[in-house]
Structure 1
Amino acid sequence: MHHSRLCTLVIDCRTDDLAEAARFWSAALGKPVATLDQDGDGRYAELATAADEPIVLLQRVEHESRVHLDIETDDLDAETARLERLGAKRVAFVRGRWWVMEAPSGHRFCVVRRQRAAFGPHLNRWD
């Protein structure tokens, strides 16, 4: 048995100025900027959201700008296998921390480890 849930809306931004993108999305969504440089490498900014809302993360990327979803889980192997049985494909294991997946529809999404200390609400249980 394992658990998973939608955890993050990731706004992929092809830009040299992630802070500018974060300020735009902060104003557009009415969410304050939590950090303009989450990991200290200039690649991630985060907006402040409530514990029962998805995390909103901005990611500086080289590919076209788009939005993708992250699914968090307490068992990365079990969740990626479950999604493969549904028709998804593994694309890449990134930094030894998360899987980039592709849905049968062609949409990319990520399967990540738990992102917040409290692993709920809206938690799915898979046997």
Structure 2
Amino acid sequence: MHHSRLSTIVIDCDIDHLDVATAFWSHALGKPVASADQDGDGRYAELQTAADEPIILLQKVDHASRVHLDIETDDLDAEVARLEKLGAHRVALVRDRWWVMEAPSGHRFCVVQPQRAAFGPHLNRWD
């Protein structure tokens, strides 16, 4: 048995600097900036959300701007296998920490390890 849930809404930005996009999405969504440079490399910014809301993360990318979802799980292998049975396929394992997947519809999403200290609420339980 394992668990998973929607974790993060990721706003992929094909832009030189995230500050403009971060300011726009912060004001557009009414969410203050929690971190303007999450890892110190200028690639990630996070907006402040409540513990029971998905994380909103802005990510600097080298592909067209889009939005993708992250699904967090306590068993990466089991969740990826479950999603493959539903028709998704693996695209890339990143830093041995998460999988980029593609849904049958062509939408990319990621399967990641738990993103917050409290892994819940709103968990799905899979056998």
TM bin, normalised by shorter chain, reads: over 0.9
Mapping for residues 1-127 of structure 1, pairs under 5 Å: 1-127=1-127
Secondary structure in structure 1 of the residue aligned to 2:20:
helix
Mapped to 2, the partners of 1:9 and 1:44 lie a distance apart of 13
Identity over aligned pairs, percent: 81
Mapped to 1, the partners of 2:101 and 2:113 lie a distance apart of 14
- Once superposed, which parts of structure 1, at least 4 consecutive aligned residues long, lie more than 4 Å away? none
Give the TM-score of the pair, scaled to structure 2. Answer: 0.99
Mapped to 2, the partners of 1:74 and 1:105 lie a distance apart of 25
CA drift of 1:96 comes to 1.1
Secondary structure in structure 2 of the residue aligned to 1:110:
strand
Aligned AA (1:32): P
Q: For structure 1, list consecutive stretches of 5 or more residues without a partner in the other structure.
A: none
Mapped to 2, the partners of 1:6 and 1:49 lie a distance apart of 14
Whether the 8 Å CA contact 2:70–2:111 is kept in 1: the answer is yes
CA drift of 1:19 comes to 1.1
Mapped to 2, the partners of 1:89 and 1:44 lie a distance apart of 26
Residue-pair matches, total: 127
Give the TM-score of the pair, scaled to structure 1. Answer: 0.99
Secondary structure in structure 1 of the residue aligned to 2:87:
coil
* Residues 27-66 of structure 1: CA deviation (Å, up to 9, x unaligned): 0000000011111111000000000000000000010000
When the two chains are superposed, the root-mean-square deviation of aligned CA atoms in Å is 0.4
